[in-house]
Amino acid sequence: MSVLPFLRIYAPPNAVLAAPGLLAVAALTIPDMSGRSRLALAAVLAVIWGAYLLQMVSTLLKRRAEDGRTRTPEIAIDVLAVLVPLAAFLLVGTPDRSLYCAVWLLKPLRDSTFFPVLGRVLANEARNLIGVTTLFGVVLFSVALAGYVIERDIQPDKFGSIPQAMWWAVVTLSTTGYGDAIPQSFAGRVLAGMVMMCGIGIFALWAGILATGFYQEVRRGDFVRNWQLVAAVPLFQKLGPAVLVEIVRALRPRMVPEGAVICRKGEPGDQMFFVVEGRVSVATPSPVELGPGAFFGEMALITGEPRMATVSAATAVSLLSLHSADFQMLCGSSPEIAEIIRKTALERRGAAPMA
């Protein structure tokens, strides 16, 4: 019997263990703590270290079983979380050896989906970020130079050199304002006001670049996911890439749990639906089930009449919804699809209503 399933079961959540471990590290720095309390906290760290040892072994066995498909950063974090505290325990003779457990700060990042996205955003926006950072450096040095020239004779202890003035420049550019270095001359205070406004502008540029990058990355991910869903609908599989792009932008994915009502009879119809996965049930005199590739709700868009039937999810279902305005756009750009939808609607109208 393989030990891998056992280790998977007992591999603890990273953040759940990291939090008490880091709290224990912080508590051990309190100077007046009793010996018994220190021993208890050390035992907590030992238990957490043992749990991370199990997780490291599990990760290595998983990588071996999956022929190296486990991501290298995951392995590196697991190994560091075990070896760094172990090395500190064996080699460091001072009470500070517990501080090396702070490497567990990396554990909550191990399975995070945010940091890969952040990495892609930084890579995509590197040129703009470097440009703004260069501007920040130029402004920083210029401001420190100006502050040195203006205030060096008035406050030689705080503005006696450019490196000293650079501390004031950083604090002022970031609009932190610690108050430990304040220009005394009129020219220095005018300079400080201008520096604060420049700092706000530079940080706004950084924030704007990152916000735009995140927005584009999220939209890119949504576009790829929607493309895959649209490509799974047989009605769209014969279309060219240009038409598919328009459809992907128009359709909205929607997950519906089993038994939930998707649309009700008598309510106004402002969208139609395409079934990607699962099955839906149409409440007609002779109930009908529709599976992957089918669509419903088109009648209300074509005729403008209220829904003619109630449709619910027979199973958990993945849908793509198309609103009326986008439906008109789709009909204009893809007459062949519009013809298929209208033909199907007429057939259903002559048989059983489909919402």
Cross-strand bridge partners of residue 198: none
pLDDT at 6 (0 to 100): 37
Q: Do 262 and 273 contact (CB within 8 A), yes or no?
A: yes
pLDDT band at residue 21, thresholds of 50, 70 and 90?
confident
Provide φ and ψ at 114, rounded to 5°: -70, -40
Take residue 201 and report the two structure tokens written for it: 């502008």
Using a 10 angstrom Cβ sphere, with 0-12 exposed, 13-18 middle and 19 or more buried, the burial of residue 282 is buried
Given a contact cutoff of 8 angstroms between Cβ atoms, the answer to whether 317 and 278 are in contact is: yes
CATH 1.20.120.540 intervals, the chain: 13-111
Q: Is the pLDDT of residue 27 over 60?
A: yes
Q: Provide the pLDDT for residue 218.
A: 83
Six-digit token pair at 8?
């998977």
**212's tokens:** 């735009």
Encode pLDDT of 313-327 as tens digits. Answer: 999 998 888 888 777
pLDDT for residue 131: 94
CATH topology of domain 13-111: Four Helix Bundle (Hemerythrin (Met), subunit A) (1.20.120)
Residues of the chain with CATH 1.10.287.70: 116-218
CB contact at 8 A, 309 and 282: yes
User: Which pair of structure tokens corresponds to residue 343?
Assistant: 């033909």
Instruction: Using only the alpha carbons of the chain, give its radius of gyration.
Output: 31
pLDDT, tens digit (0-9, with 9 covering 90-100), for 278-298: 999 988 777 788 888 788 887
CATH of domain 116-218: 1.10.287.70
The answer to whether 290 and 234 are in contact (CB under 8 A) is no
| pLDDT on residue 10 | 39
**Is the pLDDT assigned to residue 302 strictly greater than 80?**
no
Split at pLDDT 50, 70, 90, the class of 341 is confident
From the list 98, 86, 84, 113, the residue with the least C-alpha distance to 40 is 98
Does the pLDDT value for residue 258 go beyond 50?
yes
Residue 133 is predicted with a pLDDT of: 93
88-111, pLDDT tens digit by residue? 888 877 777 888 888 888 888 777
Q: Whole-angstrom Cα distance, residue 53 to residue 290?
A: 50
Per the model's pLDDT, the better-predicted residue between 10 and 42 turns out to be: 42
**What are the beta bridge partners of residue 295?**
274
Mean pLDDT, residues 257-264 taken together: 90
Segments of the chain assigned to CATH 2.60.120.10: 234-351
Poorest-confidence range of 160-164, 172-176, 303-307? 303-307
Mean pLDDT, the chain, as a whole number?
82
Sheet holding 261-263, edge to edge: 261-263, 310-313, 280-283, 288-290
Neighbouring residues of 11: CB distance < 8 A, sequence distance ≥ 6: 51, 54, 55, 58
Q: How far is CA 209 from the centre of its chain?
A: 16
Q: Which of 212-216, 227-231, 235-239, 272-276 has the highest mean pLDDT?
A: 212-216
Question: Residue 121: what residue type?
Answer: V
pLDDT score, position 349: 63
Greater model confidence, 58 or 145: 145
Please report which residue ranges of the chain form alpha helices under DSSP H: 4-10, 14-27, 35-65, 72-91, 114-124, 126-151, 156-159, 162-173, 186-231, 241-250, 298-303, 324-333, 335-350
Average pLDDT over every residue of 262-286:
86
Region 151-171: what's the mean pLDDT? Answer: 89
How does 9-19 read in b/e, with b if 16+ C-beta sit within 10 Å? eebeebeebbe
d(CA 17, CA 106): 12
Residue 336 reports pLDDT greater than 60: yes
Q: How many angstroms separate the Cα of 285 from the Cα of each of 27, 28, 179, 290, 353?
A: 70, 73, 79, 15, 9
The CATH class given to the 234-351 domain equals mainly beta
CA distance 165 to 182: 10
Is 81's pLDDT higher than 90? no
Mean pLDDT value of segment 28-41: 86
Taking only the tens place, the pLDDT of each residue in 124-141 is 999 999 999 999 999 999
Q: Return the SS3 of 112.
A: coil
State residue 351's pLDDT score: 53
Tokens 């106004």 sit at which residue? Answer: 268
Is residue 352 scored above 70 in pLDDT?
A: no
